[in-house]
Structure 1
């Protein structure tokens, strides 16, 4: 299976233990973000994979919803989280699921955008803006560059400029605190603000 738009593509990787994108915990910059923004609210984790970040968001006071369209990924997240947080993991399609918690204060991005086929990027940007409250934040680690031989598929500066403004404006851009082997120097911590 070689189509990342098919859940079976990702199920095979989880079944074979080939998940090189999995950080295995909570990235330091998410911990820092949550410490600086402890207000809580509603949070969404699309393409949640193993789900490590869900419990961190919950502990910071967020009402968290996570979604993945690959059954193996959703099950992995549920196992990692245990009760009662496992109930926060939805098996479904980010683009079509009717989220009862929407709109969200925060959407956390980590390896979801770079896993998507390129033809879904415009839908990603539009759906993200639709699901965020005005003033809400899209935060996370973004794989940047020109490498389109993926997944992971890097986000070029030209694509970013075309996709995000005027709905989502970049308000914070930092190098990653800990480089991850799969992404090297190409990953950045970013925060975008949803504009009215």
Structure 2
């Protein structure tokens, strides 16, 4: 089964949101603190409560787009950050969305997708990036016993599927994961070739 809009709406309604830590993910915050150009165009797909977007917006990044299929989370984000541009809130299926970006931030969206959609994710994310654009964030580095989401994976698997469309700049164990995920996350930076 591929989780759809109703599946995710139900998860939010029942507060079954274990992926949501209530603030921006430390590995992504650390990466964002190293970004020097506040004008780059950024997409956060499957954004949920979009704490990373809030963090970047408050740091002066104004060209951020957040995308989710659940309208309620986008509405909630707008209530929390009313000055965030409404036109940058995208309620759409990631795989049907078209635009171009310099950076896509990955935080728990990839692991929410069934494994059979991973190759599609790699192709779609690459198609949304400008040449030399980057896909960066965190991926799980463990398998899960339960039937997901979330769905786990391994460094070797990620190298295999992403290297067909990206140059792997960084793919290493996270040193700054939150405690419950320590030892189970990889931080990555993948770059789209020219």
TM superposition score category, shorter chain reference: 0.7 to 0.9
1:34 counterpart residue number: 32
CA distance in 2: counterparts of 1:97 and 1:26, whole angstroms: 24
Contact 1:179 1:185 in 2 (8 A): no
Contact 1:134 1:194 in 2 (8 A): yes
Contact 1:79 1:86 in 2 (8 A): no
Secondary structure of 1:38's aligned partner: coil
| 1:26-105 pair list within 5 angstroms | 26-40=24-38, 41-58=40-57, 59-99=59-99, 102=100, 104-105=101-102
How much is the aligned-residue C-alpha RMSD, in angstroms?
2.0
CA distance in 2: counterparts of 1:50 and 1:180, whole angstroms: 20
Does the C-alpha gap of structure 1 residues 153 and 122 become closer, same or farther in structure 2, counting only changes over 3 Å? same
1:194 counterpart residue number: 192
For this pair of structures, how many residues does the alignment match? 190
Secondary structure of 2:33's aligned partner: helix
1:9 counterpart residue number: 7
Mean alpha-carbon deviation: is it higher for 183-192 or for 74-83?
Answer: 74-83
Contact 1:7 1:70 in 2 (8 A): yes
CA distance in 1: counterparts of 2:108 and 2:116, whole angstroms: 16
| 1:47-196 pair list within 5 angstroms | 47-58=46-57, 59-99=59-99, 102=100, 104-147=101-144, 149-172=147-170, 173-181=172-180, 183-196=181-194
CA distance in 2: counterparts of 1:80 and 1:188, whole angstroms: 30
| Deviations 1:121-158, CA, capped at 9 Å, x for gaps | 11100011111112111111111223373111012234
Give 1:184 shift: 4.3
TM-score norm. by structure 2 comes to 0.87
| Structure 2 spans left out of the alignment, 5+ residues | none
2:21 counterpart residue number: 23
Does the C-alpha gap of structure 1 residues 62 and 132 become closer, same or farther in structure 2, counting only changes over 3 Å? farther
Does the C-alpha gap of structure 1 residues 76 and 92 become closer, same or farther in structure 2, counting only changes over 3 Å? same
